C-alpha cells in the first residue's frame, strides 16, 4: 500500500518541473522550445542536457541553477546532473557553411565608431564563449587589422581559399591585410560586389557562432552587396547622440527595410564622458539623443558606450578596450549580451536570408584570382 503513495519519478515529472523555466527572449518554456535533451533517470540520479541556441547565451548560468533546484526538489531525486550545451553552428544553415549568425554593423556616416563597435563587439562575444569572425567590408578604409594588432600580417590562401588571420582569438578577413597600405585601390561597382562575394564565400571560416561585418559608411555599393549576398541575422546601427540629423540614420534603416534585413537595434557611441578626476558622467553630445530612433523604428538601444580615451588608445595600439577590465569592457559585454538575445528573437520572427542579387549584377567580376593548388 505504502508503495502506491510514493510519487513516481519519471520523465514526465521531470519535464513538468523543467517547464517552469521560461526563456526571457522567446517567452516560452525550455521544454516547449526543445532545449531539454538526453533525459535519463537512473536510481534517483537525473541527468539531462540543456541545449541553447548559442554558447554566448546570457541566461546560461541562471537556467542551469534553476534546473538543478527544480529537479533537485522532486521527491526521489538523489542527484541532478545538468550539462549545458549549444547548437553547433553547422546545424543552422546560412549561405556561409558553418557560420550560424551574421551581424552587420552599419552607420549613416563615417567616424561615428562603426569599426570600434564591430571589433569590440567581436571581442565581447568571444569572451562570452562564442566562436567569432570579423569581415572588414570597408574596402576604402580597412582599419580592423590595426585595431586587432595584426597590421602588416598578410592574408594567406590555401587550396584556392582565404585563410582568415587569427587576431587575438578572432578570425579576421580584411582587404587591409591583402593590399599594401600605400597602394590605391580603384573600385568599380562590379569589383566591389566581387570583393564582398569572394572575401566571404571563398574564405574558410570554419565553424563560427557569429560573423561580425564592419561596413563602410553610408548606403553605397558594398553595404548593398553585403545585404544581397549574405543571409544577415540583422544589422545594428551605430550613431552618436548629437546626430540629431535623423536623416543619416533613417537612410540606413530604410535600406534595411527595403532589403528585408532585420534591425537589431542602435548603439549610442560616445554617449557620455566619464570625468577622469571625479568620475562624474558628462553628457558631451547629449546622452539619450538616440532614444527617439528607438521609438520611431521600434528597435532597442542595445548599449550606450562612453567616450573614453582608452577606447581610442586601445584601437590604435591593437588591443581593443573590451579586453581591458573596467566600465568600458562592461559596456561592451552588455552590448554583446543584448545582441545575442536580440538575434535570437528577430531570427525567430524573420529568419535570415540573402536579399538576392538582381539581374545584371550576377556577372560581377571576380575580385580574387586565387591560383588553384595542383
Ligand atoms: N567611444 C569612443 N570613445 C573614444 N573614441 C572613440 C570611441 N568610438 C570611436 N572612437 C574613435 O573615433 C574614431 C572613429 O572611429 P571608427 O570606429 O574608426 O569610426 P567609423 O568606423 O564609423 O568610421 C577612431 O579614432 C576611434 O578610436
Ligand atoms: Mg570604419
Amino acid 366: pLDDT: 65
Element (H, E) at 135: strand 132-136
The neighbour count for residue 151, using CB atoms within 10 Å, is 16
Amino acid 93: pLDDT: 46
Which grid cell is 372?
A: 588553384
Say whether both 179 and 230 belong to one domain: yes
Mean pLDDT by 10 residues, the chain (374 residues): 58 94 85 88 95 84 96 96 81 73 92 95 96 94 95 91 96 90 72 88 95 91 90 93 70 86 94 80 76 89 93 96 93 96 91 68 57 46
Say whether both 77 and 109 belong to one domain: no
CA 61 from centre of chain: 20
Q: Evaluate whether residue 319 is within a structural domain.
A: yes
pLDDT tens digit sequence for 209-262: 999 999 998 888 899 889 988 999 999 999 888 755 567 788 888 889 888 899
Amino acid 102: pLDDT: 96
Amino acid 362: pLDDT: 46
Looking at beta carbons, which pairs linking 176-184 to residues 24 or more positions away fall under 8 Å? 176/136, 176/142, 176/143, 176/144, 176/145, 176/146, 176/151, 177/142, 177/145, 177/150, 177/153, 178/154
- The residue whose grid cell reads 536623416 is 247
Computed from CA positions of residues 93, 87, 202, 322, in that sequence, does the dihedral angle turn out positive or negative?
Answer: positive
Q: Evaluate whether residue 40 is within a structural domain.
A: yes
Q: Evaluate whether residue 345 is within a structural domain.
A: yes
- Among 258, 185, 173, 179, smallest CA distance to 219 is for 258
- Give per-residue burial for 128-138: e unless 16+ CB within 10 Å, then b: bebbbbbbbbb
Out of 55, 87, 119, pick the residue that ends a domain: 87
Crossing angle between the packed helical segments 221-229 and 246-258, to the nearest 10 degrees:
30
pLDDT tens digit sequence for 78-110: 999 999 988 766 554 457 889 999 999 999 888
Contacts of 248 (CB under 8 A, 6+ apart): 107, 108, 109, 239
Choice from 267, 312, 319, 332 to test ligand 1 binding pocket (greatest atom count within 8 A of CB): 312
Say whether both 231 and 169 belong to one domain: yes
Contact 221, 193 (CB under 8 A): yes
Out of 87, 115, 141, pick the residue that ends a domain: 87
Say whether both 162 and 293 belong to one domain: yes
Whole-structure pTM value: 0.81
In this structure, the residues whose C-beta lies within 6 A of any atom of ligand 1 are: 107, 110-116, 143, 269-270, 305, 307-308, 311-312, 315
Ligand 1 atom closest to Cα of 143?
18
Say whether both 163 and 109 belong to one domain: yes
How far is ligand 1, taken at its centre, from the CA of residue 303, in Å? 15
What gap in Å lies between CA 134 and CA 144, rounded to an integer? 9
Say whether both 209 and 143 belong to one domain: yes
Q: Evaluate whether residue 187 is within a structural domain.
A: yes
Ligand nearest to the CA of 107: 1
For residue 24, the enclosing domain spans 6-87
Say whether both 298 and 208 belong to one domain: yes
Half-sphere exposure at residue 114, Cβ-oriented, CA atoms within 13 angstroms: 30
- The residue whose grid cell reads 578596450 is 321
Q: Evaluate whether residue 1 is within a structural domain.
A: no
Q: The CATH number of the domain where 78 resides is what?
A: 3.30.300.130
What gap in Å lies between CA 226 and CA 95, rounded to an integer? 12
Say whether both 183 and 327 belong to one domain: yes
Q: The CATH number of the domain where 330 resides is what?
A: 3.40.50.300
CA-proximal residue: ligand 1, atom 23 (nearest) = 111
Amino acid 99: pLDDT: 94
Out of 87, 114, 133, pick the residue that ends a domain: 87
What gap in Å lies between CA 172 and CA 152, rounded to an integer? 13
Q: Evaluate whether residue 357 is within a structural domain.
A: no
Tally the domains of the chain: 2
Say whether both 80 and 213 belong to one domain: no
Q: Evaluate whether residue 133 is within a structural domain.
A: yes
How far is ligand 2, taken at its centre, from the CA of residue 140, in Å? 9
Say whether both 155 and 304 belong to one domain: yes
Q: Evaluate whether residue 282 is within a structural domain.
A: yes
Say whether both 80 and 181 belong to one domain: no
Amino acid 265: pLDDT: 96
Ligand 1 atom closest to Cα of 107?
22
Say whether both 130 and 25 belong to one domain: no
Ligand 1 atom closest to Cα of 138?
21
Amino acid at each position: 500500500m505504502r508503495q502506491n503513495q510514493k510519487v513516481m519519478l519519471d520523465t514526465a515529472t521531470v519535464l513538468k518541473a523543467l517547464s517552469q523555466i521560461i526563456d526571457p527572449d522567446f517567452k516560452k518554456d525550455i521544454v516547449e522550445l526543445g532545449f531539454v535533451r538526453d533525459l535519463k533517470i537512473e536510481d534517483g540520479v537525473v541527468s539531462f542536457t540543456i541545449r541553447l541556441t548559442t554558447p554566448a547565451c546570457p541566461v546560461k548560468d541562471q537556467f542551469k541553477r534553476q534546473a538543478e533546484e527544480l529537479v533537485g526538489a522532486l521527491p526521489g531525486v538523489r542527484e541532478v546532473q545538468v550539462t549545458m550545451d549549444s547548437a553547433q553552428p553547422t546545424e543552422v544553415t546560412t549561405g556561409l557553411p558553418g557560420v550560424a549568425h551574421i551581424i552587420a554593423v552599419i552607420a549613416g556616416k563615417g567616424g561615428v565608431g562603426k569599426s570600434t563597435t564591430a571589433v569590440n563587439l567581436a571581442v565581447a562575444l568571444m569572451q562570452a564563449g562564442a566562436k567569432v569572425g570579423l569581415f572588414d567590408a570597408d574596402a576604402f578604409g580597412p582599419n580592423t587589422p590595426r585595431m586587432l594588432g595584426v597590421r602588416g600580417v598578410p592574408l594567406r590562401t590555401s587550396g584556392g581559399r582565404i585563410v582568415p588571420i587569427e587576431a587575438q582569438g578572432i578570425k579576421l578577413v580584411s582587404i587591409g591585410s591583402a593590399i599594401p597600405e600605400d597602394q590605391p585601390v580603384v573600385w568599380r561597382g562590379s569589383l566591389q560586389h566581387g570583393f564582398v562575394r569572394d572575401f566571404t564565400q571563398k574564405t574558410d571560416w570554419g565553424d563560427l557562432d557569429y560573423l561580425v561585418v564592419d561596413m563602410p559608411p553610408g548606403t553605397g555599393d558594398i553595404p548593398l552587396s553585403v545585404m544581397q549576398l549574405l543571409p544577415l541575422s540583422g544589422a545594428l546601427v551605430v550613431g552618436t547622440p548629437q546626430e540629431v540629423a535623423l536623416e543619416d540614420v533613417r537612410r540606413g534603416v530604410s535600406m534595411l527595410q527595403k532589403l528585408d534585413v532585420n534591425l537589431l537595434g542602435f548603439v549610442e557611441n560616445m554617449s557620455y564622458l566619464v570625468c577622469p578626476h571625479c568620475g562624474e558622467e558628462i553628457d558631451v553630445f547629449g546622452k539619450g539623443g538616440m532614444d527617439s530612433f528607438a521609438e520611431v523604428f521600434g528597435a532597442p538601444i542595445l548599449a550606450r558606450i562612453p567616450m573614453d580615451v582608452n577606447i581610442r588608445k586601445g584601437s590604435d595600439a591593437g588591443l581593443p578596450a573590451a579586453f581591458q577590465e573596467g566600465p568600458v569592457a562592461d559596456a561592451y559585454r552588455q552590448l554583446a549580451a543584448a545582441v545575442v538575445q536580440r538575434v535570437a528573437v528577430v531570427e525567430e520572427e524573420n529568419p535570415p536570408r540573402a536579399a538576392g542579387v538582381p539581374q545584371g549584377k550576377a556577372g560581377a567580376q571576380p575580385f580574387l584570382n586565387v591560383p588553384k593548388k595542383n
